């Protein structure tokens, strides 16, 4: 059984042509980056992958279950709990500290967080490479790489089965993409690029990497953005 499967999927989203994916099979231990997505189509892909929207043609399956079988909002919330999503759409409270933002997946009691929650938030901060001196700073004081690290920490906080990164590095400079190292759960990732003959979306490509504990899928814009995607795991 695949972790995430697309078969004959088509979804219009206001672009020049629909998002079309003839076949995508994400198996256990796969690490895949998708190239050639603009920001709008990357958002559509993530929404399709999580069952937030349905394809106009074809099927999307999550752990073997078609997203068309999701019955109601409560059922969908159970499904979405299996995903961690790193996205600009994930709101951070920029007036609150790094630790307060990282505590929010565990509790709404964040002023201050209880000691056991603070310990979990500090563990996340270490895992995603946020320096200790930044923990008490408001998120607004961080640079783009810091914001990305906080979003990654939030995404992995509840131990998701699948990690989706949607244009995670869109606001990083090329220097930040090439020079920053993300330590922790996604480290020591070895990448190799492949071309998938079944993928029908212009010149998009798939990249895979090994040795990280999540299933993760990254829709990105171009080669530089792909480097950013794998920078997270380097």
Give pLDDT, residue 176. 67
Distance CA 185, CA 124 (A): 10
Under 8 Å CB-to-CB from 151, ≥6 apart: which residues? 86, 87, 90, 92, 168
Residues in the chain: 234
Q: At what angle do helices 144-156 and 115-127 cross, to 10 degrees?
A: 120
Q: Which residue matches tokens 């020049």?
A: 16
For residue 189, give the DSSP letter: P
Other beta carbons within 10 Å of 30 = 18
Under 8 Å CB-to-CB from 156, ≥6 apart: which residues? 84, 124, 127, 128, 163, 185, 214
In DSSP terms, 209 is beta-bridged to 191
How many domains are there within the chain?
1
| 160 membership: H or E segment, kind and range | none
- How far are the Cα atoms of 8, 69, 225 from residue 155, in angstroms, in the given order? 29, 25, 19
For residue 210, give the DSSP letter: E
Give pLDDT, residue 144. 86
Give pLDDT, residue 177. 62
Q: Is the pTM of this model over 0.85?
A: no
CATH, residue 207: 3.40.50.300
Q: Domain span at residue 191?
A: 4-231
Give pLDDT, residue 141. 96
Contact (Cβ atoms closer than 8 angstroms) between residue 24 and residue 203: no
Question: Tens-digit pLDDT profile for the chain (234 aa)?
Answer: 678 999 999 999 988 889 999 999 988 878 888 877 888 888 999 999 999 999 999 999 999 999 999 999 999 999 999 999 998 888 899 999 999 999 999 998 898 999 999 999 999 999 999 999 999 999 999 998 899 999 999 999 998 988 898 887 777 776 666 544 443 445 433 332 333 333 344 333 434 333 344 455 555 444 444 433 333 332
């Amino acid at each position: 059984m695949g972790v995430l499967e697309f078969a004959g999927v088509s979804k219009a989203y206001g672009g020049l042509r629909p998002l079309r994916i003839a076949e995508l099979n994400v198996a256990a231990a796969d690490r895949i980056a998708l190239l050639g997505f603009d920001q709008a189509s990357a958002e559509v892909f993530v929404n399709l992958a999580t069952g937030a929207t349905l394809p106009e043609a074809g099927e999307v399956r999550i752990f073997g279950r078609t997203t068309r079988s999701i019955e109601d909002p409560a059922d969908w919330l159970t499904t979405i709990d299996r995903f961690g999503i790193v996205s600009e759409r994930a709101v951070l409270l920029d007036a609150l500290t790094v630790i307060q933002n990282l505590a929010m997946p565990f509790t709404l009691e964040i002023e201050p967080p209880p000691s056991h929650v603070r310990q979990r938030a500090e563990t996340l901060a270490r895992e995603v490479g946020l320096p200790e001196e930044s923990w008490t700073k408001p998120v607004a004081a961080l640079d783009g790489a810091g914001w990305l690290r906080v979003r990654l920490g939030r995404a992995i906080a509840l131990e998701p089965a699948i990690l989706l990164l949607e244009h995670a590095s869109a606001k990083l400079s090329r220097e930040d993409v090439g020079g920053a190292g993300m330590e922790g759960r996604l480290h020591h990732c070895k990448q190799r690029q492949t071309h998938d003959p079944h993928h029908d979306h212009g010149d998009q490509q798939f990249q895979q990497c090994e040795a990280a504990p999540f299933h993760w899928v990254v829709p990105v814009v171009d080669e530089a953005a792909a480097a950013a995607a794998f920078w997270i795991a380097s």
